[in-house]
Structures are given as structure tokens and as C-alpha cells.
A and B are shown apart, each in its own frame.
Chain A
């Protein structure tokens, strides 16, 4: 899923300063799963803003809507009948959703209420960690299921670097060293001899470095 974090309240309040009619938009997909921008979080943020602005003597009207998805035109278009009742949209969807809604309603600004952070997993209840960067050229078969592009702070292909200690990354003692994990897998699978193979340089052209990416399925186009 795409994992996001709510922005600090002060930052949100600052963005909303000029407005008194706000549409607060959530999403039922990833941001709901990572407990950042689903209908529950929309309701909480809406009442926090109302309360704050009430105290400030600048009350606001907030509409609360949570779309099934913000990355699909079908759902985004469902905002049409009422989006113009509001001066601005504050979105708790991921960065994709925030932009996509903005593209559909060019006379309305869509402000981000979250920082979209990574593609990750729920490691345990309340803990999400990063797994993939969408580099466009998967090498997980070569690194035994652990992605060094994402999980090594230096994206090293022939690790671990000299800072790996006690299984932890030099950058943060709370983060496992990706290459320590990979070496563990080599050992578990009796493949240590494979460790000696030098992994070739990566072709980054399939990644963000090659420019914004696009996927087309001609057979699905109407």
C-alpha cells in the first residue's frame, strides 16, 4: 500500500488561513489501511479544525467526503455536484489522489493534509515499513526477496557497506541492514557461493530518473 502521514496540525491550519468553506476529502484505499486518511481520520481532523477556528473566532464550514478511490476518474467525478460549494479542498489521500482531483477541478486548489511517504507493509499493528520504490526493473529474484534499492540507505547492489553492525544500518540503529538480511537468506538457503557474484550496475532509466512513467494497455482503451 501507499503509506502516508498526517501533516503537523500547525501546517494544515496555516494552509487553511484564507478559507472558511473547506471540503475535507479522504480515501478508502491505502490511506485508510494505514490509518491516515480514511473516513475516521477525516472526521477527527475536521473536528480539530472546527474547534481551533472556533476558538480563533474564525469559524469554518467543513464538508467531509471519503471517496472509494481518489486515483480513478469514476470516483473523482462524483465530487462534481458539490465541490463548488467549497472554496478549497483539503485532501487526506496520497499524493496521486491529491493531484488527480486537482486535475479534474482546475478552478479549485487541492491542498495536501498528508505527507505521502512510501510503498510499504503493515509490519505489526501500528507499524508500517517501506519495501519498494517502484524502480521499474525488479531484481528481487537476485537479492533473495529483499530490495536493496529501497531498504539499503545507500541502495548498494554489492553490500553490505562497512557501517553494518549487529544487523542494523549505520544510518539508523532501529532499521535492519538490508544486506545483513540478504546475507542471512543466502546462508539459510545454502547459497553463499552466489554472494560472490558481482551484481551489475542498475539501469535506472525505468525508474523516476527516466522521467515520469506511463503504462498503456491498448486492449483496454475505449
Chain B
């Protein structure tokens, strides 16, 4: 059975998919979300709404998803395991489905140490793979984790993330296999800067036949500045930014750096698109949503089906 997800429709039609991301604001103003959404309308198939990313308090993913739905986008609600136990998670899944959210992305979540409330208690009742199982169980079997019946199944398209660049490298494809087996239908990867390593990972994925079980969207992030590239390289755990890419940004005049960053992103899309088994891209233009249109157009992915 299919869901109402636009992403599912696009992926099943065999079209190269495009998703992007919207980080909710650190306040209660829905206009900020609408504005970000307006940049993406017509350029993406679905838009992720992050769940207190980097453990910084923001408007809830649930609410921001509804705001985006209101402007005509199909949101992907992100849910991390850091802040909710299995009771709250299942409750939010029901609520999301009731209000027409068609997609859920299951993640562990960054540790609260990195955020604005490092003294918080974390939850981690279940992990991301078990969360995938939970959504699938509720949707397909109509059962809560407890085994009790769900009256009115949540019809949700299930996503996950995977980081091909984290260690140990040898299990990164196996871990995706676990997620697919748990019930994930699409995966968005960590930002791809090191395309060679991503190719190697995709080779392992293909050897295991996982690309036939799950739609793979490669993560793309345009670099705004040399500082951002250096920060990503040195300070974000699990991020692999090759030195050549930083050199390339350094090699252009100052006022051309952002342009070069966009160019690299577009080239990366073209390169990952050529890899067998890659079904789409997930463009994470962090606090730079207005650039997504330009990237999508330049990559020849506009108009959207």
C-alpha cells in the first residue's frame, strides 16, 4: 500500500527525487517558516523539518510541518530519540498522521551536549532502528509497541538517515541494511563532500542489494564560506570534507566564494546522480534556503514532476 507522500510518488515513478530541509526558528513566528517554505515551493518533492537540530531548542517539527503544509509543501517530520520516550513518540506519530503529515524521518539525534541546553537529561528509550520498527508496526500491523491495537493506522512513508563517512566504515552499508530490514523506505545520507568515499559506500550497498530495498538520496550541502567548510571539516563529528574542496574555495576571489560553493554543490549532484542506485538528492542548505532554487535549476532538476 502506498501513502499520500509526494516523495513516495516521485520515487516510485523512477524520477530522480529532490528533497530539502527547513530548520524551524527559535521562536513562535510562523512567518519565518512560511518564508523559508516559499523558497522551496515547486523546487522540491518534500521538505524535511528538523527536530531541534544540534540539540538547540526550536519550534517543534510537528508544528512547522503543519505551517509548511499550509503553503502547499509536503513535509517530512523528523523525529529524534533524544527527547521522547516510546509513549510520546507513538502519540506524536498518531497526531502527525491525523493532521496529514505523510512522512517521518527517524534519527538518533545529536547529543544534547552540542546544544543550548547541555544540562538536560536525555531519553534514548529506543534507538532510531527501533523507531523505524515502531512506525512500521503501527502502520502495517496496526499494533503499538505494547502489542495493543492501533485504531486508525498512521499511513506514513518511513525514512531514515545514514552516514557513509562515519566509522567503522565496513559496517556503514550493513547498518543501512538493518534500517531497510526494520522498515525504512528511503534514506537521506550525511552531506557528501568526499564523492570517492561515497562511491565506495554505494558499491558496498549495491553488493548487498540494499539499493533495491530502499530509495537512496544523497545529502548535498553548499558551502557558504571558507569558514563554514573548515568548521564542517574540523568540528562536526562524522563529516568528511576533503582538503581539495577547501583549497578550491580559497582559490577564488573573496566575492566569488559563495558562487564557487554553489558550483561545487551542483557538480556533486551531477556526480552522485551518475552513481547506480542513487535515487535522488537531499539538499541541506543550512540557513540558506533561498539558494535551493538556484541549485535545483542549475542541476537540471527543475521543474519537479
Of A154, A161, A170, A195, the residue contacting B122 (CB under 8 A) is A154
Flag if A155 contacts B111 (CB, 8 Å): no
Comparing A55-63, A81-89, A196-204, A210-218, the segment that makes contact with chain B is A196-204
Residue of A with least CB distance to B162: A162
Flag if B111 contacts A160 (CB, 8 Å): no
Q: How far is the CA of A163 from the CA of B166 in the complex (A)?
A: 6
Flag if A201 contacts B237 (CB, 8 Å): no
Chain A interface category by residue count: 20 to 34
**Is B79's beta carbon under 8 Å from chain A?**
no
Flag if A163 contacts B237 (CB, 8 Å): yes
Flag if B161 contacts A164 (CB, 8 Å): no
Q: How far is the CA of A153 from the CA of B112 in the complex (A)?
A: 10
B111 CB contacts on chain A under 8 angstroms: 153-154, 163, 170-171
Q: A162-B238, A165-B237 are in contact. Are A156 and B127 (CB under 8 A)?
A: yes
Flag if B237 contacts A170 (CB, 8 Å): yes
Q: A163-B237, A196-B177, A198-B181 are in contact. Are A156 and B166 (CB under 8 A)?
A: no
Flag if B108 contacts A154 (CB, 8 Å): yes
Q: Which of B117-146 contact A (CB under 8 A)?
A: 122, 124-130, 133, 145
**Is B163's beta carbon under 8 Å from chain A?**
yes
Of B110, B113, B125, B182, the residue contacting A204 (CB under 8 A) is B125
Of B122, B129, B175, B238, the residue contacting A163 (CB under 8 A) is B238
**Is B252's beta carbon under 8 Å from chain A?**
no
Q: How far is the CA of A212 from the CA of B175 in the complex (A)?
A: 36
B128 CB contacts on chain A under 8 angstroms: 156, 158, 161
A160 CB contacts on chain B under 8 angstroms: 166-168, 171, 175
Flag if A162 contacts B167 (CB, 8 Å): no
Flag if B177 contacts A158 (CB, 8 Å): no
**Is B33's beta carbon under 8 Å from chain A?**
no
A198 CB contacts on chain B under 8 angstroms: 129-130, 133, 178, 181-182
Q: How far is the CB of B122 from chain A (nearest CB, A)?
A: 7
Q: How far is the CA of A41 from the CA of B273 in the complex (A)?
A: 65
Of B82, B127, B161, B170, the residue contacting A158 (CB under 8 A) is B127
Q: Which of B68-111 contact A (CB under 8 A)?
A: 81-82, 86, 108-111
Flag if A165 contacts B238 (CB, 8 Å): yes
**Is B155's beta carbon under 8 Å from chain A?**
no
Q: How far is the CB of B238 from chain A (nearest CB, A)?
A: 5
Q: Which of B151-181 contact A (CB under 8 A)?
A: 161-163, 166-168, 170-171, 174-175, 177-178, 181
Q: How far is the CA of A198 from the CA of B86 in the complex (A)?
A: 17
Flag if B167 contacts A167 (CB, 8 Å): yes
Flag if A170 contacts B238 (CB, 8 Å): yes
**Is B50's beta carbon under 8 Å from chain A?**
no
Of A158, A162, A187, the residue contacting B129 (CB under 8 A) is A158
**Is B53's beta carbon under 8 Å from chain A?**
no
Q: Which of B28-72 contact A (CB under 8 A)?
A: none
For the residues of A in contact with B, the DSSP-based class is loop
Q: How far is the CA of A187 from the CA of B167 in the complex (A)?
A: 14
| Most chain B Cβ neighbours within 10 Å, of A153, A155, A163, A200 | A163
Q: How far is the CB of B204 from chain A (nearest CB, A)?
A: 13
B168 CB contacts on chain A under 8 angstroms: 160, 164, 167, 180, 183-184
**Is A157's beta carbon under 8 Å from chain B?**
yes
Flag if A156 contacts B238 (CB, 8 Å): no
Q: How far is the CB of B85 from chain A (nearest CB, A)?
A: 9
A170 CB contacts on chain B under 8 angstroms: 110-111, 237-238
Q: How far is the CB of B2 from chain A (nearest CB, A)?
A: 25
Flag if A196 contacts B122 (CB, 8 Å): no
C-beta contact mask, B182-200 vs A, less than 8 Å → 1, else 0? Answer: 1000000010000000000
Of A153, A154, A165, A183, the residue contacting B171 (CB under 8 A) is A183
**Is A159's beta carbon under 8 Å from chain B?**
yes
Q: A195-B174, A198-B182 are in contact. Are A157 and B163 (CB under 8 A)?
A: no
Residue of A with least CB distance to B108: A161
A18 CB contacts on chain B under 8 angstroms: none
Other CB < 8 Å A-B pairs besides A162-B166, A184-B168, A196-B174, 9 of them?
A154-B81, A154-B82, A160-B175, A164-B238, A167-B168, A183-B170, A195-B171, A198-B133, A201-B130
Identify 23 residue pairs between A and B in the complex whose beta-carbon atoms are under 8 Å apart, listed by A's number. A154-B82, A154-B108, A154-B127, A156-B128, A157-B129, A160-B171, A161-B128, A162-B162, A163-B111, A163-B238, A164-B166, A165-B237, A170-B111, A171-B113, A187-B170, A195-B171, A196-B177, A196-B178, A198-B130, A200-B130, A201-B126, A202-B125, A202-B126
B contact set with A: CB distance below 8 Å: 81-82, 86, 108-111, 113, 122, 124-130, 133, 145, 161-163, 166-168, 170-171, 174-175, 177-178, 181-182, 190, 237-238
6 shortest interchain CB distances as A-B pairs: A162-B163, A170-B237, A163-B237, A158-B129, A156-B127, A155-B124
